[in-house]
């Protein structure tokens, strides 16, 4: 179950992906960069998660595809806690969105590091 549908927009990524696809189909796979970002975010989300049993805080999982970072949860109610449920009197906890918002500089730095590694692997001179 996806815990959050929040997104981080990084300008220029699509253009970079197109250029990398044109160079090599292997180079267009940004899965390692996306996984590094989602892995970096999971501890902060766990810290910001409300606790009763601790299952929600411990249940966050990083993931990635070629095109995006993903953060999911092992618990079925993660989405309800993140977004809230007004009819049931549950306020939005915003643990995923707040972590992403607070981690903007770290997200960009992680993408820069991972793209540097990718560029070196495929032979780009980045200096």
Residue by residue, pLDDT tens for the chain (127 residues) are 455 566 656 677 777 777 666 666 655 578 999 999 999 999 999 999 999 999 999 999 999 998 899 999 999 999 999 999 999 999 999 999 999 999 999 999 999 998 888 878 777 776 6
Q: How far apart are CA 37 and CA 100, in angstroms?
A: 10
Closest among 24, 5, 123 to 68, alpha carbons compared: 5
Is the alpha carbon torsion for 33, 36, 41, 46 positive or negative?
Answer: positive
């Amino acid at each position: 179950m996806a815990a959050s549908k929040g997104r981080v927009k990084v300008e220029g990524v699509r253009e970079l992906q197109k250029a990398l696809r044109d160079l090599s189909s292997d180079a267009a796979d940004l899965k390692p960069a996306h996984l590094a970002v989602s892995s970096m975010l999971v501890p902060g989300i766990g810290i910001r998660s409300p606790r009763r049993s601790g299952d929600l805080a411990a249940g966050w999982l990083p993931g990635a595809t070629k095109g995006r970072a993903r953060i999911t949860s092992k618990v079925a109610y993660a989405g309800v806690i993140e977004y809230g449920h007004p009819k049931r009197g549950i306020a939005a906890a915003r643990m995923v969105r707040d972590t992403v918002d607070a981690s903007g500089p770290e997200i960009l730095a992680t993408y820069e590091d991972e793209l540097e590694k990718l560029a070196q692997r495929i032979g780009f001179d980045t200096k």
